[in-house]
Structure 1
Amino acid sequence: MTSETYSQPGTARGQGTRWNKVPEVTAFFWVIKILCTTVGETAADFLNGQLGLGLTGTSLVMSLLLVVALVVQFRADSYRPVLYWLVVVLVSVVGTLISDNLTDNLGVPLEVTTAVFAVALAVVFVAWFRSERTLSIHSINTVRREAFYWAAVLFTFALGTAAGDLVAERLSLGYWLAAVLFALAIGAVWLAHSALGLNAVWSFWIAYVLTRPLGASLGDYLSQPSDDGGLGLGTVVTSALFLLVILALVVYLTVTRKDVTPQEELSRPAA
């Protein structure tokens, strides 16, 4: 148990709760995360292109929806799968749009956006650790820690978008080979953690960044026309298909509570 004051759900805002506000990192977590990143890519393309909102209009609408969802998430007194993953989907879309706006609307080179987002993410981690003395995702149980958590998540999506686009542009791999490359990179992180002792916190966040370009590559492969190297399913079908799978998994987790952090984890000192 950390030095924070823990309290029952429903206590005044600003106090901690004894419940973790984010899910346990399981295989379900990574599957849903990758699906969310795919939706972030295809949904942004759909709203920007087929609905005619444009990049600026799409960014404004999705940012507003994200703010509303975050307010509800912060007011919740415990982890709720539907709410949590809704926020992740919206963060995925907004993170993609932030990177796209800088590159497409303002003409900022991908090298610059990748570096800027990497620095911004590092600043969040430094501020988080200096404030809380921990980066543990097993103890997201105060408003301040949750704010740091979601700021980190947003910048991982923006960084993953910029870095993924940079790699795809420089190497011209195509969607399928790009997906294989990022999957191998995630596998290397897992190997470094399990066999070489890479710190669990850093392993988690590195993999979290890499899932963004992995999911985007999968989404583009499924949605883009065959002439461009895709399967031609379109953004509507791809987005709807992945959203249905996400919904099914989230409902399953809501019922089974398989991704709720065990009480023994909550009672350990935060790392």
Structure 2
Amino acid sequence: MPVSSATAKTVAYNRVPRVTADFWLIKLMAVTMGETAADYLNVQMGLGLTATSLIMSAILAVALVWQFAQKRYVPAAYWLSVVLISIVGTLITDNLVDNFHVPLLDTTIAFSVVLALTFLLWFKAEGTLSIHSIFTGRREAFYWLAILFTFALGTAAGDLVAEKFALGYLATGVLFGMIIVSLSIGYFFLGLDAILGFWLVYILTRPLGASFGDLMSQPAQYGGFGLGTIITSSIFLTAIVLIVVYMSLPHEGEELVEVDASGKPAASTKGHGFSAAEEKV
């Protein structure tokens, strides 16, 4: 929609939500469900890793087509994609470890490198890694590719600490929770870069959520509460649906980005949370 014929600027909708407490709450629930749902489909339903991976990847592809078609942030489309990509990211790591016998340490290092390359290519192509300016198809594609690798990396890192280093689910969850708190303190009080802080926390919420998901679902002999994957997944799915419904009513998280006639971010973006100085994690 035109802003001014003199300035020839338009206002585009950002395609991802503002980063609020609701964002982190539902993201944490989504990654927790991703862990337990992947285990349920693979083990409890007996589909196996390969079949589960193919089925969930196909469903994710359909969800992403719906998400890309929106051209703005729509809670149902966006968070469905997050939940599904969480499951698929988990399955990618599980396939590498269980089917191809790649050690967890190697998997963690490999996904760290792949994610870093994704960020590098994204920055070279767009000049920013800000999530407050996802208003083109190419930026959104980089965004979702990075999200996929954060889930795969988070799964590998969480399993490495919990299983290979034998800390257990509770200690692993507490460890990653403490790191997230430290990063939050760094952002709010010590000047940690907003974009760097966001992506580090986004990666670390994956092993945090997965650890507590395993803690709730796994049998007592493995250090869990024994609720099972069905009950655990149902609890978090219900919570996710309720929060998404709540978000959908007031259009929570909708954000505008001012762009010039060429489709690039306008020089002045005050009020839209675009600039690095104003960006909030």
- TM-score, normalised by the number of residues in structure 2: 0.88
Q: Deviations over 1:202-229 (max 9, x none)?
A: 1000000000000001101111112221
User: In structure 1, what is the equivalent of residue 241 of structure 2?
Assistant: 247
- Aligned pair in 2 of structure 1 residues 265, 49: CA closer, same or farther (>3 Å)? farther
User: In structure 2, what is the equivalent of residue 10 of structure 1?
Assistant: none
Contact 1:81 1:250 in 2 (8 A): yes
User: In structure 2, how many angstroms separate the alpha carbons of the residues matched to 1:269 and 1:24?
Assistant: 14
Query: In structure 1, what residue type is equivalent to 2:47?
Result: L
Contact 1:138 1:270 in 2 (8 A): no
- Aligned pair in 2 of structure 1 residues 270, 183: CA closer, same or farther (>3 Å)? closer
User: In structure 1, what is the equivalent of residue 75 of structure 2?
Assistant: 81
The structure with more strand, counted as a fraction of residues:
2
User: In structure 2, how many angstroms separate the alpha carbons of the residues matched to 1:223 and 1:182?
Assistant: 19
Q: Secondary structure of the residue that 1:258 maps to in structure 2?
A: coil
The Cα RMSD (Å) is 1.8
Contact 2:217 2:225 in 1 (8 A): yes
Contact 1:103 1:110 in 2 (8 A): yes
- Aligned pair in 2 of structure 1 residues 6, 115: CA closer, same or farther (>3 Å)? farther
- TM-score, normalised by the number of residues in structure 1: 0.91
Percent identity at matched positions? Answer: 56
Q: Deviation of residue 267 (structure 1)?
A: 7.1
Q: Secondary structure of the residue that 1:69 maps to in structure 2?
A: helix
User: In structure 2, what is the equivalent of residue 100 of structure 1?
Assistant: 94
Query: How is 1:1-271 mapped onto 2 (pairs within 5 angstroms)?
Result: 18-261=12-255, 265-266=271-272, 268-269=274-275
- Contiguous gaps of at least 5 residues in structure 2: 258-269
Contact 2:169 2:224 in 1 (8 A): yes
User: In structure 2, how many angstroms separate the alpha carbons of the residues matched to 1:39 and 1:122?
Assistant: 26
Q: Deviation of residue 177 (structure 1)?
A: 1.5
User: In structure 2, how many angstroms separate the alpha carbons of the residues matched to 1:268 and 1:246?
Assistant: 28
Q: Deviation of residue 270 (structure 1)?
A: 6.2
Query: In structure 2, what residue type is equivalent to 1:266?
Result: H
Contact 2:86 2:151 in 1 (8 A): yes
Q: How many residues are aligned here?
A: 259
Contact 1:37 1:216 in 2 (8 A): yes
- Aligned pair in 2 of structure 1 residues 6, 95: CA closer, same or farther (>3 Å)? farther
Q: Secondary structure of the residue that 2:39 maps to in structure 1?
A: helix
User: In structure 2, how many angstroms separate the alpha carbons of the residues matched to 1:268 and 1:39?
Assistant: 31
User: In structure 2, how many angstroms separate the alpha carbons of the residues matched to 1:58 and 1:125?
Assistant: 28
Please identify runs of 4+ aligned residues in structure 1 that moved more than 2 A: 261-271
